[in-house]
Every structure is written in structure tokens, then in C-alpha cells.
């Protein structure tokens, strides 16, 4: 599984970053993340920040997405339940 994130914006006044999470090539979500301050009132950085950002995303979703990408054997059962609205 290839899980990654990119910081796409920094709001210094709010002490937050905008983080885009990806699974393989698919965008999963974009979250505004408050950056915690350390005991010296500095933003956390490096491995500590990486661990914080990575830990915010529910990793159980990745296992499910991996299974969905491989295909679900009974997907036709669910498709058969779909009733399209009158257009």
C-alpha cells in the first residue's frame, strides 16, 4: 500500500497546514491540521510532525481501499439494488 501526504498550504496566523492525503495515485482527503506547539512554544517539525500528520488519517480506510481496487466478487448484488431517479 502506498500512502502519502503533501502539505499544500501553511496558515502561519492560525498555526495550521492544509494536508492532502493520497493512496497510490488517488486523492483521499484534504484536511486542515493544527500544528501542535512543543514545550518551547515552537511548531513541531521533522519526524514528530510527520508522525502527527500520518496519525490523523484513519489507516483502516487504506486496507478497505486496497480490497476495493482488487474488485469485490458480489458487487453486482449491490448494483442490482440501484434505482435510478426519473430524470
Tell me what pLDDT residue 27 has: 87
**Beta-strand (E) ranges in the chain?**
3-11, 16-23, 26-34
The model's pLDDT over 4-25, given as tens digits with 9 standing for 90+, comes to: 999 999 999 999 999 999 988 8
Q: Do 56 and 33 touch, CB atoms closer than 8 A?
A: yes
Residue stretches of the chain with pLDDT short of 50: none
Amino acid at each position: 500500500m502506498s500512502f502519502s501526504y503533501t502539505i499544500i498550504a501553511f496558515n502561519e496566523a492560525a498555526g495550521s497546514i492544509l494536508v492532502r492525503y493520497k493512496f497510490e495515485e488517488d486523492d483521499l482527503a484534504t484536511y486542515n491540521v493544527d500544528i501542535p506547539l512543543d514545550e518551547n512554544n515552537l511548531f513541531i517539525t521533522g519526524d514528530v510532525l510527520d508522525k502527527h500528520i500520518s496519525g490523523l488519517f484513519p489507516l483502516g480506510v487504506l486496507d478497505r481501499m486496497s480490497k476495493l481496487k482488487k474488485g469485490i466478487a458480489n458487487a453486482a448484488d449491490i448494483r442490482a439494488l440501484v434505482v435510478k431517479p426519473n430524470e
